[in-house]
Chain A
């Protein structure tokens, strides 16, 4: 070997990231350690089946049904599991509600923890150094990157996901949405509003 790779064997792989993935996939597949069809099924799950519409369904239900919302805020995991939303990276769910007094915002400063069964794969910005570094120290500046300005008397509470607990923000229900049914409300609930970097859309 030209030099010692013992600490970081990954440096043996090709430099181009696409080729690096291909090399790993080929090695593992030829060793019988991965089933290429299983990879396609995993990708299909997160590309087409599990995403933020799941979370929007939960939030719309919470807006429409006070008992559902109370149960969700008390112990979210069984409540969302009842709707079919449970699984990897959503084993311990906590829902937090935005009000005039408190605006909640979720991050994982140490890696990229995120409630997959409710929101899918995290967006690139959620995993970025800028978001991870800045949002705990200057949440209002980060909100302005998203075009969101909060009233001075609304406190910001940033949740840093340091354990296996995953947080879902219940955004405030917008004025003018009174007559809407569940699917009408779901259209107002953006992914970002359930992370706390956005607000629900006004109808």
Chain B
């Protein structure tokens, strides 16, 4: 039931390699990959949860061998076809046909405003907060989307079935488990929840260490 992106806590990866602050892009094509992805997203054919899920749905072998921006490219290509912005034939090399959706193309003069505007994820909700700072809570036993089999969720496997305490209330936010699948924004309370390292790992480095995750109310039960 897991997907390859859910790697928190995994063993076997090598050292983390620092790099200077001046390194922003390592290849010219990385820049283009970032820009093409943002510009294509400006049509509004998908939201951020859909685009994350497109990358997570890559075959595990592709996810592991693709570099970061290759994952973006693959997710984008799959989404363009899924949302009928580009045809399979066009991807395979046939002559591109002008799109009826060219009217929503991001124009150069609108780039600063679009990037500056962002896309807030908080929404009004009828669902009242059930928890308050300091409350003990337990996460779902399975890090799975309960609406869609194999669907998108933001509960990592390493924090499933774990007991923590509410640290901070963030307001009511779009539920990715719903939003990634065209099932509506379904906003609900979102909290920062702190877990002792000893609750998550068999051999924590230090008993005082903690991991904090942002988790939606429906992921949580009173503990």
| A residues at B contact (CB < 8 Å) | 1, 5-6, 8-10, 12-13, 17-18, 20-28, 30-35, 37-43, 45-47, 51-52, 86-92, 94, 107, 109-112, 117, 120-121, 123-125, 127-142, 145-146, 152-153, 155-165, 190-192, 197
CA distance A131 to B111 in the complex (A): 32
In the complex, besides A24-B73, A28-B36, A47-B24, 12 extra interface pairs with C-beta distance below 8 angstroms are: A8-B62, A17-B67, A18-B27, A33-B102, A34-B106, A38-B111, A87-B118, A123-B23, A124-B68, A129-B10, A157-B211, A163-B176
Please, which residues of chain B bring their CB within 8 A of the CB of A22? 29, 32
Please, which residues of chain B bring their CB within 8 A of the CB of A117? 118
Interchain CB contact under 8 A, A164 and B121 = yes
Please, which residues of chain A bring their CB within 8 A of the CB of B147? none
A-B contact count (CB 8 A): 311
Interchain CB contact under 8 A, A163 and B121 = yes
Size category, B interface: 35 or more
CA distance A152 to B209 in the complex (A): 10
Interchain CB contact under 8 A, B206 and A156 = yes
Please, which residues of chain B bring their CB within 8 A of the CB of A45? 111-112, 115
CA distance A97 to B25 in the complex (A): 29
From B85, B174, B208, B212, contact of A158 by CB (8 A): B212
Nearest A-chain residue to B202, judged by Cβ: A137
From A31, A46, A140, contact of B205 by CB (8 A): A140
CA distance A164 to B174 in the complex (A): 9
Interchain CB contact under 8 A, B68 and A8 = no
From A23, A38, A52, A138, contact of B106 by CB (8 A): A38
Please, which residues of chain A bring their CB within 8 A of the CB of B56? 110
Nearest CB on A from B158, distance (A): 7
Interchain CB contact under 8 A, B209 and A155 = yes
Interchain CB contact under 8 A, A124 and B32 = no
Nearest B-chain residue to A90, judged by Cβ: B118
Please, which residues of chain B bring their CB within 8 A of the CB of A165? 170, 190, 192, 214
Interchain CB contact under 8 A, A21 and B121 = no
Nearest B-chain residue to A37, judged by Cβ: B108
Please, which residues of chain A bring their CB within 8 A of the CB of B16? 125, 128, 130-131, 134-135, 142, 145-146, 197
A-facing residues in B114-147 (Cβ within 8 Å)? 114-122
A-facing residues in B8-47 (Cβ within 8 Å)? 8-19, 21, 23-29, 31-36, 38-40, 43
Interchain CB contact under 8 A, B215 and A41 = no
Interchain CB contact under 8 A, A123 and B19 = yes
Interchain CB contact under 8 A, A9 and B34 = no
Interchain CB contact under 8 A, B9 and A137 = yes
Nearest CB on B from A17, distance (A): 5
Interchain CB contact under 8 A, B24 and A120 = yes
CB-CB contacts of B175-211 with A at 8 A, as 1s and 0s?
0100000000000001010100000110001101111
CB-CB contacts of B88-112 with A at 8 A, as 1s and 0s?
1011110011110110011110111
Interchain CB contact under 8 A, B106 and A145 = no
Let me know if B50 is at the binding interface, CB within 8 A. Answer: no
Sampled A-B contacts (27; CB under 8 Å): A9-B81, A24-B36, A24-B73, A31-B86, A31-B97, A31-B99, A32-B102, A33-B40, A33-B99, A39-B36, A40-B35, A40-B108, A42-B35, A43-B31, A43-B35, A87-B117, A88-B114, A89-B118, A110-B6, A110-B156, A111-B55, A121-B34, A133-B9, A139-B209, A159-B192, A163-B176, A163-B190
